[in-house]
């Protein structure tokens, strides 16, 4: 009688967690130290000002439901923040339990069974899963690896568009590659979406993690409300992953409809967490320090990885991930990327995420390493990867 609904039968889980679990076992059984390059969150605790603000809210008894769209003061702050990119008002904002829920609302509101949604190959794993969950089809646009980052082939993008294309999803800066896409490239994707009347879902959750170069936001187009569903959140910028707070910016009527959805699904984001988040907008000095710290870690990981034989690594300009090309090495070792990650944990205690977790094909020859890790561990971990490779070549 417990037959799963047909759309969830094939649903892939949080596969990044699988590798943490293997590591936990290995560390328990063999007593070896684990170094975690698999992590998708900053390693800092949420800044004190934000924690204090939530504690005060709790002590003041701010413990009831909030409006489905979020508390006004927070929506106002988010709108003010987004004014650095474009014209956003409070009524263009809904606060959600994490950016994942923001994405979910965006998909559920517009995607019908049988629709097509264009997503990057590789991309954040949950886009394609949720699209399939809704009975729609993810159509993958293969990114090209170039000297200074990955890029979209705009001609291929246009060729992938059919009468059934409902939406294009972009993520800039990009998980898992760490790419900051060329502003002209993003501009062109925006133009294509607008001209062809396709919704552009722009996930900009890493917008503060930019090490060099300029980030183009989809909100910069004065007409953004005609075609953009903008996604962001507090998890990465303010190291608030466990607070579960994200947001959508969109045209006012879309936000209202999302509020109706929210009212039926989860009511609202957590009340005192929202109060804490208000203080996050006074924490940009801390954010700046974190970015400088991450830039240094990036540089260290990049130079250490150069020493590993047969891998090709690009210095990422954004987010906190490296996504080196492993194809030549894997062929030389006679291994697939999944075995590489599993064996690496088992023999050296170093956690990486095999690129195949990020659909669809490109990732099979890549591995994702997060540099949201202490500098000493970065050095030690990459050295162990180099040893692992040397022992097998």
**Interface positions with ligand PLP (CB under 6 A):** 40, 98-100, 124, 171, 175, 203, 205, 233, 235, 241, 246
**Residue nearest ligand PLP, CB atom distance:** 98
Give me the least distance between CB of 388 and ligand PLP, in Å please.
Answer: 26
Give me the least distance between CB of 99 and ligand PLP, in Å please.
Answer: 3
- Give the sign of the dihedral formed by CA 136, CA 231, CA 154, CA 221: positive
Q: Provide the β-strand partners of residue 137.
A: 116
Give me the least distance between CB of 171 and ligand PLP, in Å please.
Answer: 5
Give me the least distance between CB of 160 and ligand PLP, in Å please.
Answer: 21
Give me the least distance between CB of 386 and ligand PLP, in Å please.
Answer: 27
Two tokens at 107? 């998909």
Give me the least distance between CB of 164 and ligand PLP, in Å please.
Answer: 25
Any idea what DSSP says for residue 216? P
Backbone φ and ψ for 369, nearest 5 degrees, come out as: -120, 130
Name the residue among 348, 351, 356 with its Cα closest to residue 386. 348
In the chain, the N- to C-terminal Cα span, in Å, equals 52
CB-nearer residue toward ligand PLP: 171 or 179: 171
Two tokens at 112? 């019908």
CA distance linking residue 385 with residue 137, whole number of Å: 37
CB-nearer residue toward ligand PLP: 40 or 316: 40
Pairing of strands 228-233, 246-249: antiparallel
Two tokens at 100? 């994942």
CB-nearer residue toward ligand PLP: 231 or 345: 231
CA distance linking residue 102 with residue 261, whole number of Å: 11
CA distance linking residue 105 with residue 300, whole number of Å: 38
Two tokens at 357? 């977790």
Give me the least distance between CB of 335 and ligand PLP, in Å please.
Answer: 27
**303, 383 in Cβ contact below 8 A?**
no
Q: Provide the β-strand partners of residue 325.
A: 312, 366
């Amino acid at each position: 009688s417990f037959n799963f609904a047909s759309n969830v039968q094939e649903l892939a889980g949080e596969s990044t967690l699988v590798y943490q679990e293997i590591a936990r076992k290995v560390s328990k059984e063999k007593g070896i130290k684990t170094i975690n390059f698999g992590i998708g969150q900053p390693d800092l605790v949420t800044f004190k000002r934000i924690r204090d603000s939530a504690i005060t809210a709790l002590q003041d008894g701010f413990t009831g439901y909030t409006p489905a769209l979020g508390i006004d003061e927070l929506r106002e702050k988010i709108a003010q923040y987004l004014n650095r990119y474009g014209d956003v008002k409070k009524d263009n904002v809904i606060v959600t339990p994490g950016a994942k829920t923001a994405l979910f609302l965006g998909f559920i509101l517009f995607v019908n069974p049988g629709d097509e949604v264009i997503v990057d190959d590789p991309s954040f794993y949950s886009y394609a899963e949720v699209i399939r969950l809704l009975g729609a089809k993810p159509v993958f646009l293969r990114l090209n690896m170039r000297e200074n980052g990955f890029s979209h082939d705009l001609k291929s993008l246009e060729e992938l568009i059919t009468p059934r294309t409902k939406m294009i999803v972009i993520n800039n800066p990009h998980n898992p590659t760490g790419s900051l896409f060329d502003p002209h490239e993003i501009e062109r994707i925006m133009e294509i979406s607008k001209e062809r009347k396709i919704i552009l879902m722009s996930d900009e959750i890493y917008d503060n993690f930019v090490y060099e170069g300029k980030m183009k936001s989809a909100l910069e187009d004065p007409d953004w409300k005609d075609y953009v569903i903008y996604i962001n959140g507090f998890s990465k910028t303010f190291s608030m992953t466990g607070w579960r707070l994200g947001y959508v910016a969109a045209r006012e009527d879309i936000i209202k409809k999302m509020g109706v959805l929210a009212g039926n699904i989860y009511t609202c984001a957590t009340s005192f967490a929202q109060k804490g988040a208000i203080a996050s907008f006074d924490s940009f000095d801390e954010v700046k320090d974190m970015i400088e710290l991450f830039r240094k870690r990036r540089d260290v990981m990049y130079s250490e990885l150069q020493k590993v034989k047969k891998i090709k690594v690009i210095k990422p300009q954004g987010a906190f991930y490296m996504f080196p090309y492993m194809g030549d090495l894997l062929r030389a070792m006679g291994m697939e990327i999944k075995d590489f990650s599993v064996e690496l944990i088992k023999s050296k205690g170093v956690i990486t995420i095999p690129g195949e977790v990020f659909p669809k094909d490109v990732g099979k020859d890549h591995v994702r390493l997060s540099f949201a890790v202490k500098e000493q561990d970065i050095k030690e971990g990459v050295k162990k990867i180099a040893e692992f490779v040397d022992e097998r070549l």
